[in-house]
Every structure is written in structure tokens, then in C-alpha cells.
Amino acid sequence: MNTVDNPLVLSDPFQLKLRSGVLDLRARPLVMGVVNVTPDSFSDGGRYFRRADAVEHVREMVAQGADIIDVGGESTRPGSEPVDAGEEMKRVLPVIEAIRKFSKVPVSIDTCKAEVARRALDTGADIINDVSGLRFDPEMAKLAGERGVPVVIMHMKGMPKTMQRNPYYDDVVTEVVEFFKDRIDHARAHGVGSIILDPGIGFGKRLQDNLRLLHSLSVFADLGWPLLIGTSRKSFIGMITGAEAGERLGGTLASSLVAVMNGARIVRVHDVREAVQALRVLDAIHHPEQWEA
């Protein structure tokens, strides 16, 4: 597919053209709110596994200022077991359908399966968020190219079940850069015109790897595509502070703000209200002239 002829692709990779309009990643960093429609999420323990609870949570996040809603039906926490496509669709499709009845907020489908992504796009999703970086399902890149939708390409070493069993890198930044170059070429070869890069904090990474990646985000930004960072409630924060998953808001906000200062354009979080407030204050500090009388 010629991406130039694709109506859902713009020449500027920081202007994501969705069915509902253009999502501008240059104007300000955006907040992606997470809803896990799973019984075993590391962060919320299945709190939103019931459809009604998930939908109500989305309503709250939209009201709090979420720019994107990320819906997932398969846990990718360390040690998690995969679920089949049928079960995953049973979890996520009704939630996406319900969202579309009350909001035009952009929705990303967090899945590694092309079948699930296809049905989610048909139901109203706008973005594919693939933690495998288009590796696990050979049909995913083709689907994204045919539909002309943005794709989040994330780096993960190994599989969710085994990724935290002694991961090792000689140079984590260089290795992730090379991974991205390969995956970008793969996506572009299949007609994908809008790509978002996610270095995969906590996915097959040691503490020092996560810190080096966050410290070196400008290297990834130099690849020319927008960056998404998800540090929300992750274990590296607990390793540094001793805090349990539900008590890592401070670490989440600190790492998210540093990520934005180092080039990230989207932060993926569980606590939308606090992230929106933090980013607004950061923006005000960077642009004090907007607040002068």
C-alpha cells in the first residue's frame, strides 16, 4: 500500500489522523488512560473485569481529561498466561462498543492478535497498541497498513510469562534502537504510515535498564516518531522506593514528567486526573508567558 494515498495518514508523524479527527502530538503531551478488562492485572487486581465497572471507569477518565483510552483484555504482567482470541474479544469488544455510545475519545486496543485488533477496529477502536512490536502475529502489520491506523510498537524482550527471568543487555539503549529500526522498516513495508514508539519500561528489563531508557529517551526521539512511555505503578518504582503497586503515584508522576521532558509525547497512566494536573503545571512552567497578565 502506498501510504501517501492513504487518507488516514498525514505527512507529519506527530499529527495522527483518526476517524474522529486529528490527534496533535506537537501541541502538548497527551495522557492515555488505562482500562484493564482482565481478572489478573498487576495494577488493579481485576477491579475493572466486569463490563459495567470498566465502562464507568472510562467515563471517569474521560471526565478527568484523558486524551486516549487504552483497552486491554489480556494481562501482560510478568509471569502472566496468554488467553485465546475469543476470550480476549469477549472482554474488550463490549467495552469499546459502550464507549462509542457516549464518547468520541480515541481508543487504542492493547493486543498482540490481529483478529482481536480487527474486530476492535470494526467496533470503534482507532489505534493498535501491540506490546510485541508487530512480532507475535504476522498479520498485524498488514492489518494496520490496510486500515491506515496508528500503531504503537513496543519493545519487549521475551514473552510476558518469562520476560523477567534474568533479562540481560550489553547496551540496552543501543539494542532497543536497533529493534525499533527493524520494526519501523517492517511496519512501513506493510503500508503503516503512523507509528508510535514505546521502549517498554518493565518488559524484560532490569532496574538499571529501565532507568537508562528513561534517561536516554532523546535517542529514541531522534528516530523521528512520537514516543509513548508507560511507567505507571511499575515495579521499578517499588524497587527504588519500597512502595507497593497501589502506592506508586509519586514515582509514576516523577518518571512521567521526566519522560516528557526527555521527549515523550504520550504518557500511559492509571491515575489520569493526577497526570493531567502534573502535565498542565509542567507546561505552565515551560511557557510562563501564557500566564502573564
SS3 readout for 237-289? HHHHHCCCHHHCHHHHHHHHHHHHHCCCCEEEECCHHHHHHHHHHHHHHHCHH
- Assess if residue 44 is contained within a domain: yes
- Assess if residue 19 is contained within a domain: no
- Assess if residue 163 is contained within a domain: yes
Q: What are the pLDDT tens digits along the chain (293 aa)?
A: 344 445 555 579 999 989 888 999 999 999 999 999 988 655 555 666 688 999 999 999 999 999 999 999 998 777 667 899 999 999 999 999 999 999 999 999 999 999 999 999 999 999 999 999 999 999 999 999 999 999 999 999 877 777 777 889 999 999 999 999 999 999 999 999 999 999 999 999 999 999 999 999 999 999 999 999 999 999 999 999 999 999 999 999 999 999 999 999 999 999 999 999 999 999 999 999 999 87
CA distances 150 to 11, 70, 75, 86, 249, Å, are 13, 13, 22, 24, 29
- Assess if residue 45 is contained within a domain: yes
Residue 32 forms beta bridges with which residues?
A: 68, 268
The C-alpha cell at 5 is 494515498
Contact 265, 30 (CB under 8 A): yes
What's the CATH code of the domain at 258?
A: 3.20.20.20
| Chain-centroid distance, C-alpha 263 | 15
- Assess if residue 166 is contained within a domain: yes
Catalytic residue among 234, 265, 273, 280: 234
Range of the domain at 141: 29-291
Is 181 tagged catalytic?
no
- Assess if residue 284 is contained within a domain: yes
Catalytic residue among 77, 91, 265, 268: 268
Is 234 tagged catalytic?
yes
- Assess if residue 162 is contained within a domain: yes
- Assess if residue 18 is contained within a domain: no
